Chain A
Amino acid sequence: MLKIKNLTVASEGKTIIQDINFRLRPGETHFLMGPNGAGKSTLGLAIMGHPNFKIKQGQVLFRKKNIAKHTTDQRAKMGIFLAFQQPTEFEGVKLLDFIKAGLGALWPRRELHTASVRKNIASTLQSLDMGQDFFDRSLNWGFSGGEKRKSEALQLLTLKPKLAILDEIDSGLDVDSLKAVAKAIVRLKKNSRTSFLVITHHSRIARFLKPDFVHIMVDGRIVKSGDKKLIKRIEQYGYKNI
């Protein structure tokens, strides 16, 4: 599904990610963990094609295709999704209209009526413990931290990508909300066979969403990879002494 090969990423001449490698097979869930500033978010943004982050060396292969030359919207259409840690706010853009536009872009041949889209999303909203008025609010505008996570989760669940990169989707959520979001994601994984790259520095989401692999990133390098037992060791020893 996703192959990261000798990848080095820089921003404004400064190297942020240095020579990393890993491979995520279809249906797998990988955790990318590490301290703040390790370069985890940068990897997510680079895979999505953020203009500030340049691939200096190596490759990002998505379903065996080098995606370096693809624009961000093309990558989305290929099936990559990034749940943002800090989603941008848009005054006046209705959440529903935006999701509809996203669906229209990803599935141009599908008929999209606001009413049917609304109905489909309504049940998703319910599973996330969100009121129906959420639709008509401006996209991320004045959202609390928790609402922003849920807005990202709602988009993820509606757009059903092949690969979802979740950047700190667990932060700022209370226990109940985390549970609701995680459960919905697990359901998506089961029903749509979505693969996940989960960026986090908490282990608590692992209780709901089980990783097949865990990578630890420190100072732009992957210093260790392993299975979920690695999470226990991080809890014991921290990132520095692992």
Chain B
Amino acid sequence: MATKTSERDYRYGFSMPDTSVYRSPKGLSKKIVERISYLKGEPDWMRRFRLRSYDIFRAKKMPSWGVNLSNLNFDDIHYFVKPTDKKSNNWSTLPRQIKNTFDKLGIPEAEKNIFAGVGAQYDSEVVYHSLKQNLEKKGVIFLDTDAALKQYPEIFQEYFGKAIPPGDNKFAALNSAVWSGGSFVYVPSGISVEIPLQAYFRINSKAMGQFERTLIIAEPGSNVHYLEACSAPLYSQNSLHSAVVEIFVKKHAKVQYTTIQNWSDNVYNLVTKRAFVKEEGSMRWIDGNIGSKVTMKYPSGVLQEKGAKLEVLSFALASRNQIQDAGGKAIHLAPYTSSNIVSKSISQGGGKSIFRALTRIAKNAKKSKTHMRCDALILDNESKADTFPNFQIDENDVVATHEATVGKIGQEQLFYLMSRGLTEEDATRMIVGGFLEPITREIPLEYALELNRLMNMEIKGF
């Protein structure tokens, strides 16, 4: 049946000549960790934090429960590539290659039309940052994480590494040792950031590791939507993207974190994301995975106080030579908490998608509710989908529900759409679009349109 195998139609695979001002030699050592900290001029506590994390990284085994990562060679990666000395809040003063890259990706254009603030990271560091003045006046902080460490050391130290300590997992330890760039967002009490903030992460270098670190603090009653996207050139050598994202959602605060991940097919994407949610707070992850060679990512929420809510809505497209291992994690520690983990995956051209999710409800987290749903759509006979839902519930007075479907596009559905003149390919795209609709409708319209365009390009049909 599958006469065409789908190669991804990846239009972001271009690269620019290397104009970096510093590049650490391949491989990782204590010396390199020290060097990163030195170049950044960090306080001593951060240098020690990095070194401690490095030891944990070395001591921890590779995770054995998921995707086989044995082809990931830690010695074949540059851990720090400083793109420029000229960080700016003005696109036109950036080095030409870098500016051209972001122009090609449409970031300055999107900034004008859609976003309240934009951060752009190129290899290891953020090169551009902006925030609308009215938000700055209200006390909203939106900075790259390196700058935040210098400008707001107290808030920084209070939260950094508290949701995801270095010992959480091997890749969180690695990030903690070599982190660079990422976004720092602070929203004061009662402030609502109506328009989303965006960060764009671009890898340009070959055999590169990008380890951004994002920290979002939403004070009581505040509200913010942060959106991140990413891409990289297509190289034959592997790259590694291993971010850590920590979010603190205070009482009655609301945070939405949207990711549209479109790495090139040579990138290992191994990311740890966690939110701590206080009383009646609400955390929502929207997690889209289209690119990468391997993705392992399970955005999570720890519901620490009464009435806290978590939603994880994810979708994945696994094409030829791709493994998308994604899902979510909910930890209920208090009564009346609720979680909803929904995943939609599409596999085509021999790709593999895996849904992996865990809900844990602690004793005494009475009247809590959790729902897990995963739908997998397989477009041809070579492709695969697996699901691993997991519930660990220590309290009786809860409601836990689970639904799962794995299916192929039905012949009757195709026939119906084709009987109105749609080609098989267009019919397939239309069905896939409908399948993803419950998730895409939650993404800002401009982004959803871009996403649909992207999906239409990627979906090849039979």
The residues of A with any CB-CB pair to B shorter than 8 Å are: 48, 50-52, 71-73, 75-77, 81-82, 84, 87-88, 90-93, 97-98, 101-102, 105-106, 138-139, 155, 159
- If A91-B434, A92-B433, A101-B430 touch, whether A50 touches B420 (CB-CB below 8 Å) is no
Least Cβ–Cβ distance between B343 and chain A, in angstroms: 15
Stretch at the interface among B56-64, B240-248, B421-429: B421-429
* B interface with A by C-beta (< 8 Å): 410-413, 415-424, 426-427, 430-431, 433-438
Instruction: Give the one of A73, A84, A87, A139 with max B CB within 10 A.
Output: A73
Separation of A132 and B261 alpha carbons in the complex (Å): 37
Q: Is the CB of A48 within 8 A of B419?
A: yes
- Report B426 CB to chain A, min CB distance, Å: 7
Main secondary structure of the interface of B (DSSP, over half): helix
Chain A to chain B contacts (Cβ below 8 Å), 24 pairs: A48-B419, A51-B411, A52-B411, A71-B424, A72-B419, A73-B418, A73-B419, A84-B416, A88-B410, A88-B412, A91-B434, A92-B436, A92-B437, A93-B434, A97-B430, A98-B430, A101-B426, A101-B430, A105-B420, A105-B421, A105-B422, A106-B421, A138-B434, A159-B420
Residue of A nearest to B421 (CB): A105
In whole angstroms, how far apart are the Cα atoms of A52 and B434 in the complex? 25
Task: Find B422's partner among A50, A84, A91, A102 (CB 8 Å cutoff).
Answer: A102
Q: Name the contact of A91 in the complex, choosing from B410, B417, B418, B435 (C-beta under 8 A).
A: B435
A87 touches B416 (CB 8 A): yes
Contact A93 B419 (CB under 8 A): no
A105 touches B413 (CB 8 A): no
Give the distance in Å from the alpha carbon of A84 to the alpha carbon of B416 in the complex. Answer: 8
Give A138's nearest chain B residue, CB to CB. B434
Query: What residues on B are CB-neighbors of A72 within 8 Å?
Result: 415, 418-419
B435, closest chain A residue (CB)? A92
Q: How many A-B residue pairs have CB under 8 A?
A: 77
Residues of B within 8 A of A82 (CB): 419
- Complex CA gap A92/B315 in Å reads 15
Whether the Cβ atoms of A98 and B420 lie closer than 8 Å is yes
Does the CB pair B422–A73 fall under 8 Å?
yes
How many Å lie between the Cα of A90 and that of B417 in the bound state? 10
Taken together as a complex, chains A and B put the C-alpha atoms of A51 and B1 apart, in Å, by: 13
Using known A-B contacts A90-B434, A93-B431, determine if residue A101 contacts B422 with beta carbons closer than 8 Å: yes
Choose among A93, A97, A102 the residue that contacts B421 (Cβ–Cβ < 8 A).
Answer: A102
B304 to chain A, nearest CB (A): 34
Question: What residues of A have a CB within 8 angstroms of the CB of B433 in the complex?
Answer: 92-93
Query: Among the interface residues B416, B418, B433, which one has the most CB atoms of the partner chain A within 10 A?
Result: B416
A92: chain B residues at CB < 8 Å are 433-438
The answer, among A51, A91, A139, A155, for a CB contact under 8 Å with B415, is A51
Contacts of B420 in A (CB 8 A): 76, 81, 98, 101-102, 105-106, 155, 159
- Minimum-distance CB pairs A-B, first 10: A92-B437, A92-B434, A105-B421, A93-B434, A102-B420, A76-B421, A72-B418, A88-B416, A73-B418, A106-B421
Instruction: Across the interface, name the chain B residue whose C-beta is closest to A71.
Output: B418
> Cα distance A82–B423 when bound, in Å?
16
The answer to whether A73 touches B437, judged by C-beta atoms less than 8 angstroms apart, is no
> Measured between alpha carbons, how far is A139 from B419 in the docked complex, in Å?
14
Which of A72, A77, A101 gathers most chain B CB within 10 Å?
Answer: A72
A83 to chain B, nearest CB (A): 10
Known: A98-B430, A101-B430. A90 touches B413 (CB 8 A): yes
Q: Which residues of A contact B438 (CB under 8 A)?
A: 92
Using known A-B contacts A73-B421, A106-B421, A159-B420, determine if residue A50 contacts B434 with beta carbons closer than 8 Å. no
**B435 and A105 contacting across the interface, CB-CB below 8 Å:** no
Chain A hits for B411, CB < 8 A: 51-52
A84→B420 CA distance, assembly (Å): 11
| A91 engages B437 (CB within 8 Å) | yes
Report which of A81, A105, A155 forms a contact with B423, defined as CB distance below 8 A: A105
Write out the residue numbers on chain B whose beta carbons fall within 8 Å of the beta carbon of A90: 413, 430-431, 434
**Which of B415, B420, B423, B438 has the largest number of chain A CB atoms within 10 A?**
B420
